[in-house]
Amino acid sequence: MSNPLLRYGVVGNPISHSMSPQLHQQFAQQIGITIVYSKYCPSRLGFNRVLNDFFQTGGKGLNVTAPFKLDALNYADLITDRAKDSNSVNTLVYTLEGILGDSTDGIGFLRDLYAKQKQHSIDFQNKRAVLLGAGGVARCIAQSLLLDGFEVYLINRTQSKAEQLAKDLSHLGTIELYEFSTPREAIAVDLIVNSVSFNADKFLTQIHFAESAVAYDLNYGDKAGQFLEAAKPHTNHQFHGLGMLIEQGAESFGLWTGKYPDTSTIKL
């Protein structure tokens, strides 16, 4: 008897640019299974209907991207702790107990950061990070950094949003707003993470960086260029977010199949 077809997909709006189908087909090929991986682009109002149809007809798992990560949190029957802390779901998994919602963005970011740290022999002596932005993905990054023992300092255009994020995650460790009035030498930062799409580079001159500091832009391709170029005089290493995309996808794939692919061979 042949195996039932394993159906997965990604849901977002817009979604045509997504590289997830190529990514997950490489994962499937690597572990020797055949999958169907499709793109879904519902309206806000059509989100639940599209997901109901997917899971009721045998779909096994979905990646979720903007603007639906909060909708996915509300849709799921079961929520992991990291999805609760992140207030975000980017992975839905069909289980016998119901639809499980998880967030793999934070662990995907950390895994890529670890890989680059090892590759370039980087030592985060102070374990202090500045995070630019306080949106959904920033929350995932802040949560993962805190769990890894970093102090996290937030810079965001809307201060009240950053204050709320700091309050929500304070149970995980030291997270507070970056104080520009503090003498810059008082806080040597060895990691700056950009989660916003423009104007992030204007803060670089106002931050005191440790030696061998790292700049990491969650954007990739042309979107990451301006910030990383501006970071070069201030930091020793500059990385974009394509590795995070691959690692968060691998974590999703592992949740669906129980098999974690080797990300070092993936080409996008």
Q: Does 30 appear as a known binding residue?
A: no
Catalytic residue among 60, 69, 84, 118: 69
Q: Does 157 appear as a known binding residue?
A: yes
The span from the CA of 141 to the CA of 152, in Å, is 10
Q: Does 220 appear as a known binding residue?
A: yes
Whole-angstrom distance between the N-terminal and C-terminal Cα of the chain? 35
Q: SS3 string of 147-192?
A: HCCCEEEEECCCHHHHHHHHHHHHHHCCEEECCCCCCHHHCCEEEE
User: Could you tell me which of 96, 169, 84, 100 has the C-alpha nearest to residue 134?
Assistant: 169
Is residue 233 helix, strand or coil? Answer: coil
Q: Are strands 91-95 and 98-102 parallel, antiparallel or unpaired?
A: antiparallel
Q: Does 268 appear as a known binding residue?
A: no
Q: Does 235 appear as a known binding residue?
A: no
Q: Does 166 appear as a known binding residue?
A: no
Q: Does 90 appear as a known binding residue?
A: yes
Give the burial class of 17: count Cβ atoms within 10 A of its Cβ; 0-12 exposed, 13-18 middle, 19 or more buried. exposed
Q: Does 136 appear as a known binding residue?
A: yes
* Number of residues that make up the chain: 268
Q: Does 161 appear as a known binding residue?
A: yes
Q: Does 105 appear as a known binding residue?
A: yes
Q: Does 172 appear as a known binding residue?
A: no
Q: Does 65 appear as a known binding residue?
A: yes
Specify whether the CB–CB gap between 174 and 151 falls below 8 A.
Answer: yes
Say which residue the tokens 């899971």 belong to: 55
Query: Is 69 assigned a catalytic role?
Result: yes
- Annotated binding site for NADP(+): which residue ranges? 81, 133-137, 156-161, 218, 241
- Annotated binding site for shikimate: which residue ranges? 18-20, 65, 90, 105, 220, 248
The residues annotated as belonging to the active site are: 69
